[in-house]
Amino acid sequence: MPRVFHVPTGDRTWRVRSRDRETAGEREAVWEPRGDQGPLGAGSGIVAGYLAPHPPHLVYAENPPQNEPRSQGGWEGLRWAYEDLRNRLRAHRADVIVIHAPHWITMVGHHVNCVPNPRGLSVEPIFPHLLRFRYDFRTDVELAEAIAEQAADDGLVTRKLEIEGVRVDYATITALHLLNPDWDIPVVSLSANNNPYYYSTSSLEDMEILGVATRKAIEATGRRAVLAASNSLSHFHWDREPELPEDMAYEHPYDNHQYRWDMRLLELIRAGRTTELRRFIPEHIEATESETKAGSLTWLLAAMGWPEGLGEVLAYGSVIGTGNAVCAWEIASTASEEVQNAA
């Protein structure tokens, strides 16, 4: 039977000793002292936030052993940007990755996955020939429960998912794998009550509340957290694909209108003009049917306090016509630079 692991506050973290134990039905978690506050000089709290899009094509192109289909590569620009994020994640020595994704759709309330050891087969319903992925990871149950309770205290309808065996959505799995293919960092995953198919942008207000609640829970539990918003930008896409899905000769933006609006949003990120970005996100959704309507990006930036002067665009690329950007907001590195400059 899987065991429940509660990640304590303070100066300890855990690692998985051996992924070979998966065949035996469970893995051993080993507690180890963290030792310091990490090389970037920041303590607990949110240390970074990443825009981490989830097209299944990117995992397909990586050919990980957990995914059944095999590919010849493709979408290298986006995949190389994810390599950059992996290095940053390691440098931050994060205790947990907290992720919000559009495809865990909950019609009533915001749900938080509190299952200690989610595992199973995640199949992309539109592209099952690209993603049939066997996942097995650990949840930071203490933080997950704290986020659910804080969000409820702050006025949101909130539920804790505690049912073993519920399949984890492909968007969550894809982004987590691309960020951390070793799967050795605990996770908290959040549902999309404001999903990209039914509700208007007015529900982005709830995502602001959820973001603040997430930050409060992270700080209260003493975690060193990296946030991941798993969504694409412009979201019109082709309804046909080439015989070889990874044939990059067929890959380009859906149209110039979608592309130009994505560039307007990314210019605001690159310039660190986050206050303007906050106002622009609903306009971008209206113009492009952006997947940010699910609220992932709003949640991430609200949790980080809509920081001015931060924001990097590491890559932009099309996947079946949709616009996808890998972006980073690095709070810990900025804090470290400020300390060094003051010295």
CA separation, residue 69 to residues 29, 63, 170, 172, 214 (Å): 30, 8, 15, 19, 36
d(CA 262, CA 256) in angstroms, rounded, equals: 10
Helix (H, G, I), strand (E, B) or coil at 314: strand
Q: How confident is the model at residue 163 (pLDDT cuts 50, 70, 90)?
A: very high
Residues 11 and 34: beta-carbon distance below 8 Å: yes
pLDDT of residue 326: 98
Backbone angles phi, psi at 135, to 5 degrees: -115, 155
Give pLDDT tens digits for 283-335.
999 999 999 999 999 999 999 999 999 999 999 999 999 999 999 999 976 54
| pLDDT number for residue 26 | 38
pLDDT value at 20 more than 50: no
Q: What pLDDT score was predicted for residue 203?
A: 81
User: In this structure, how many other beta carbons lie within 10 angstroms of the beta carbon of residue 80?
Assistant: 12
Q: How far apart are CA 106 and CA 190, in angstroms?
A: 10
Q: How confident is the model at residue 193 (pLDDT cuts 50, 70, 90)?
A: confident
User: CA separation (Å) from 151 to 190, 211, 238, 303?
Assistant: 11, 9, 37, 12
One-character DSSP codes across 188-203: EEEEESS-TTT--GGG
For residue 240, what are its two tokens? 């046909």
pLDDT at 6 over 70: no
The model carries a pTM of 0.85
At residue 259, φ and ψ (nearest 5 deg) are -60, -45
Average of per-residue pLDDT across 70-86: 97
182 φ, ψ (degrees, to nearest 5): -80, -15
pLDDT value for 198: 56
Q: DSSP per residue over 114-148, as a string?
A: --SS-EEEEE-SS-TTT-EEEEE--B-HHHHHHHH
Pick the more confident residue, 9 or 238.
Answer: 238
Confidence at residue 4, expressed as pLDDT on a 0 to 100 scale: 27
Q: What's residue 86's pLDDT?
A: 97
Per-residue confidence band for 23, with pLDDT thresholds at 50, 70 and 90: very low
Confidence of residue 200 (pLDDT cuts 50, 70, 90): low
Q: In 3D, which of 12, 56, 48 has the Cα closest to residue 245?
A: 56
DSSP state of 305: T
Question: What integer is the mean pLDDT of 146-158?
Answer: 97
* Best mean pLDDT range from 5-14, 33-42, 44-53, 234-243: 44-53
Q: Taking 70 as the threshold, does the pLDDT of residue 232 lie above it? A: yes
Provide the pairing of β-strand 96-105 with 224-229: parallel
CB 237 within 8 A of CB 258: no
Name the least confident of 4-8, 105-109, 145-149, 269-273.
4-8
In this prediction, residue 310 carries a pLDDT of 94
How many CB atoms sit inside 10 A of residue 337's CB? 13
Q: Does the pLDDT of residue 340 top 60, yes or no?
A: no
